Chains A and B, each alone.
Chain A
Amino acid sequence: MNGLGLEQVWVYLSASPLLHLLATLLAFIVATRINRWAGGTPLLHPVIVAIALLIGFLLVTGTDYPTYFAGAQFLHFLLGPATVALAIPLYDHRERVRRMLWPIAIGTMAGIATAVVSAVGIAMILGADTETVLSLAPKSVTSPIAMGIAEKLGGIPSLTAGLVLLTGVVGCIVGPWIFRLTRITDPTVQGYSMGLAAHGFGTAYCFASVGAVAGAFSGLAMGLSGLVTAFVLPPIVHLFGL
């Protein structure tokens, strides 16, 4: 094939959704392998590595984000039904919730209030733009919910998505350290705290490093705190005059 032919192939591929959908899947497979080689460290989380690989690919090929997203949107769309599906683990754990109703209710409200007030407060004190503050506010919530909240608030959904992922990484690094310092050994408490502060990343960490009970509680916290945050975050943010 001559140079001109290759160029025509590239023109076709870069305009069709096929290339960037495939690139996203391949990047995720490679990133998962890299994470396994690195011993599963949260610093090289597959999602972070896959995003870095794809950003590198877009920069090298000179592709803009809307062109990439035209292909990747098929995966992105599934976040909606996946959010709805969080009702299934919530339903499965309804007995645990009923048994620990008050500790969970109070712990959830305290945790959500801390997450939102500290994120908005610190960012405002340090002088962040309003858009940045609004994008940071839902950072502890699982991304599909966080992006929806950011959009409704007037933040930047795609910035929120990135900040949510980074929050997950931070949570997996600082969480175990905090539990050691404060001598918290109860897996239900560890799991719930990780799921509330670090959403799906915290849940994945708990299943892998703490155990099934911690993982289940973490998943429960992720679903429940996402649901509650969607309702209480807008009024909290209004208290800051935003």
Chain B
Amino acid sequence: MSLIIGMSILLGCQFLGEVISRAFTLPVPGPVLGMLILLIGLMIRGSVPGSLRTMGEGLLKYLTLLFVPAGVGLIQHFGLISREIWILVVTLIVSTSVTILVTSQTLQRLARKRTPAKEHDA
């Protein structure tokens, strides 16, 4: 029964998110609003129900498997990919490298300034 309750909470939040996203024609995907709704709900409740944790962590554990069906969809874009292969390769490598560099440098500088004594529990 606990799996059913957990799944109902997740689908219920997603449902609310989809309804809000569509009703207000927001550019934010419904599941993201659902995540926000669940987060607010958990903050108000002050704990994660066991049924929700079992279902949610089970789903997140196999998250990579869930990417596969959409990834196979690349088969439909062979034409576009082969036409723009170098653009895609350069963009992915340069943009990802720059993103990691900027994020890590920003955090490193800010964290050093704010916590001079390094926290060992963090």
Contact = CB atoms under 8 A, between A and B. Distances in A.
Interface of A: 24-25, 27-28, 46-48, 50-51, 54-55, 58-59, 65, 68-69, 72-73, 75-76, 78-92, 94, 96, 99-100, 102-104, 106-107, 110-111, 114-115, 118-119, 122-123, 126-129, 131-132, 136, 139-140, 142-145, 147-149, 151-153, 156-159, 161-167, 170-171, 174-175, 178-179, 182, 184, 186, 188-190, 192-194, 196-198, 200, 204, 213, 223, 226-227, 230-231, 233-234
Contact of B104 (A79, A100, A179): A179
Interface residues of B, number: 72
Nearest to B86: A126
A115 B99 contact: yes
A28 B64 CA distance: 9
A87 B27 contact: no
Interface string B53-80: 1011101100111111111111111001
14 contacts: A72-B68, A72-B72, A80-B31, A87-B36, A90-B35, A103-B106, A103-B114, A119-B91, A123-B88, A123-B91, A166-B88, A174-B93, A197-B96, A200-B67
B59, B72, B91, B102 pick with most chain A CB within 10 angstroms: B72
A92 B57 CA distance: 12
Given A107-B103, A123-B91, A143-B67, A65 B31 contact: no
Contacts of A65: 72-73, 75-76
B68 A178 contact: no
A131 B70 CA distance: 17
Given A81-B7, A107-B110, A193-B104, A158 B92 contact: no
Nearest to B55: A85
A152 B18 CA distance: 13
Contacts of A161: 67, 70-71, 73-74
B61 to A, nearest CB: 10
Q: Which 4 A-B pairs have the closest CB atoms?
A: A148-B29, A158-B73, A85-B56, A72-B69
Contact of A92 (B48, B52, B68): B48
A175 B102 CA distance: 12
A198 B103 CA distance: 12
Given A28-B65, A144-B31, A119 B104 contact: no
